[in-house]
Amino acid sequence: MELLKLKGIKQLFPLKHKDVIVLDDINISVEEGEFVALVGPSGCGKSTLLRIIAGLVKPSAGEVIFKGKKITGINQDVSIVFQTFGLLPWLDVTENITLGLEARGMSLKERLRKAFKYIDLVGLEGFEEAYPRELSGGMKQRVGIARALVMEPELLLMDEPFSALDAFTAQNLREEILRLWGSGNLSLKSIIMVTHNIEEAIYLADRVVVLSTHPGKVIGDIRIDMKRPRDKDSVEFTKLYDKIYSMVVTAKL
């Protein structure tokens, strides 16, 4: 079933003498159960597109259809994981995770019950009372992921979630995301991840959508049919990498 449909999305950025077209005629459909990666050179409007999907930015033209309905404000069934974690430094781990639930008017008891469930799922037990300044980048991003999941969204958006982390920590969190995604323990129906890392996109996603820059347009939509865990050294992986890499390079020229 179709979860999300982007129809003719266009985003203009007004300058003094003319408008710059950031995104042009974006048409993407995401099915339930799909993990989609959006890749493209910097400046292709990937992050803007995520914000449009979440309903945080209103597109200049086009429609976001979620479960068959047009989205006009913030989409409550969507959560975002940010590159720079976005934690509030004066709140501890549990408080950071439950903040959004509080805004939804949930009772303290219910908030804590939910928080502990997701703290457990993302491996943050033992850090419940820690403040962000005490945490390493990897642990901060675990809080970011728990905070997004605790809202029990149907669609999870991730904006370069691993690019602020060192190589091993990033690798570890990628595996965690796949483990959570495959566990069936989540409310999640689909994931859309923005990344500039092609290897990461092929390793994680079911589909890689390639965007061009100036303006951002869809120039490729590649299905990744490899079984998980995927072997990065395999011929199939390398072929896909070459194919997408050359698309991204061409998009930049």
Partner 1 sequence: MDDVAPLPDVEIGEIIGMLEYLKEEGGRTDIYEIADDENLEIDDLVPIIKVASLLGFVRVENGDLILTDLGKELIEGDENKRKLIFKEALKKLPAFKKVIGLLLSNPNHTIDKSDLLNLLMQEMPKDEALDTLKSLINLGRYAELIGYNPEDKEIYLDQLNQDSEEEEIK
Which residues in this chain contact partner 1 in the complex, by CB under 8 A? 92, 120-123, 125-127, 129-131, 134, 136-139, 165-173, 175, 179, 231-232
DSSP category for residue 216: B
Shortest Cβ 166–partner 1 spacing (Å) = 6
- Determine the Cα–Cα distance for residues 196 and 244; give it in Å rounded to an integer: 11
Specify whether the CB–CB gap between 70 and 88 falls below 8 A: no
Where in the chain does DSSP place strands (E)? 2-14, 19-31, 35-39, 61-66, 69-70, 78-81, 155-159, 190-195, 207-211, 218-223
Query: Which C-beta is closer to partner 1: that of 106 or that of 241?
Result: 241
Shortest Cβ 54–partner 1 spacing (Å) = 27
Query: Which C-beta is closer to partner 1: that of 173 or that of 193?
Result: 173
Shortest Cβ 121–partner 1 spacing (Å) = 7
Which residues contact residue 14 at a Cβ distance below 8 angstroms, ignoring those fewer than 6 apart?
Answer: 20
Tokens for 1? Answer: 């079933």
Query: Which C-beta is closer to partner 1: that of 84 or that of 136?
Result: 136
Shortest Cβ 159–partner 1 spacing (Å) = 19
Shortest Cβ 171–partner 1 spacing (Å) = 4
Query: Which C-beta is closer to partner 1: that of 100 or that of 137?
Result: 137
Query: Which C-beta is closer to partner 1: that of 136 or that of 238?
Result: 136
